[in-house]
Amino acid sequence: MEKYYIGIDLGGTFIKGGVVDSLGNILSCDKTPTESEKGGDRVATNIATLAEKLIEKTGISKTEIVGLGIGSPGMIDSKKGEVVFSGNLHWTHFPIAEETAKRIGLPVKLANDANVAALGETKFGCGKSYDNTILVTLGTGVGGGVVIDGRLFEGYRSAGAELGHAVIMAGGESCTCGRKGCFEAYASATALIRDTKRAMVADKGSKMWEIGGLDKVTGKTPFDYYEVDESAKTVVDNYIAMLGTGLTNLANEFRPEAIILGGGVCAQGDTLIKPLQAFLDKEIFAGEKGPQVKLLVATLGNNAGLLGAAALWM
């Protein structure tokens, strides 16, 4: 008998869900407002209602569903099935897994959203040839997830894999976590935009001013001007060096088979990946004597969370 799974990507604004088979095919998919301002019970009800609708759409029986997985923002205790703390959801110690299970009548597992995305990309995305991977998402911050031997690694009480919050430049740029010099403070899209703006301010003749002003800067800007503007080139080269430094650290500490990069910056494709892979190959511990670490670009996009949440049951 084919088995099915429900994956829920719980966001601050929307709950996205899908019924998934064991090959990662999404049989039905929908979303509904989170309404976290109405409290945790309401969110649990919204998840359950969405899940019932998704099951109905596929025409399969609830008895064929192995379980429901939730990927949630914030600090999670996956063993307890509890959101310990989430600014986005305004929760402290909310037992979302249990509350959802009560309503849907299915067993529920919970994990952090960055972690389940790593599991999704590894099971069903660009990492599916590998059992040992790290997903690093370059967005507003730097998110991370670690898969070891095909299973999610979360650290004690699921508090590990905060890969963006390792200092790579002691005393350096301020990070949102309160420390100075974190990987996130150099490798996030936010950091890339900050450094692009600084470079423009320092170089009034930069061609990057053509975009119309500092408020028009995105992570794409310095890449667009890489070939024609020295300041843009410097920004990108420095970004790649700092991103490469953090990735090499992770390679030495965890030694995965592949590191998967996600987030908007990855739209740069080979312009980003080729020099990064060269940096990593050169800097990695023991060089060619050890197993190499392959850099990949995430392929599942917004579905990584949903698929990874479902994969918590596989």
User: Would you tell me which residues interact with a second copy (CB under 8 A)?
Assistant: 75, 84-85, 132, 148, 153-157, 159-163, 165-170, 172, 177-179, 241-242, 245, 248-250, 252-257, 283, 285-287, 289-291
Least distance from a second copy to the Cβ atom of residue 289, Å: 5
Rounded Cα distance between 295 and 127, Å, is 10
Which pair of structure tokens corresponds to residue 293?
């670490």
Phi, psi dihedrals of residue 308, rounded to the nearest 5°: -65, -40
Which pair of structure tokens corresponds to residue 41?
């019970």
Rounded Cα distance between 7 and 18, Å, is 5
Unique residue bearing structure tokens 């709950």:
15
Which pair of structure tokens corresponds to residue 156?
């004690």
Number of residues in the chain: 314
75-77/82-86 β-pairing: antiparallel
Residue number, 116 or 161, with CB nearest to a second copy: 161
Least distance from a second copy to the Cβ atom of residue 158, Å: 8
Residue number, 58 or 252, with CB nearest to a second copy: 252
Residue number, 160 or 264, with CB nearest to a second copy: 160
When computed from its CA atoms, the radius of gyration of the chain, rounded to whole angstroms, is 21
Residue number, 85 or 209, with CB nearest to a second copy: 85
In the chain, the largest separation of any two C-alpha atoms, in whole Å, equals 66
Residue number, 8 or 146, with CB nearest to a second copy: 146
Helix (H) or strand (E) holding 247: helix 230-254
* Nearest C-alpha neighbor of 246 from the set 286, 276, 213: 276
Residue number, 4 or 239, with CB nearest to a second copy: 239
CA distances from 175 to 80, 92, 187, 188 (A): 30, 23, 11, 11
Which pair of structure tokens corresponds to residue 148?
């070891």
Rounded Cα distance between 138 and 242, Å, is 13
Residue number, 146 or 311, with CB nearest to a second copy: 146
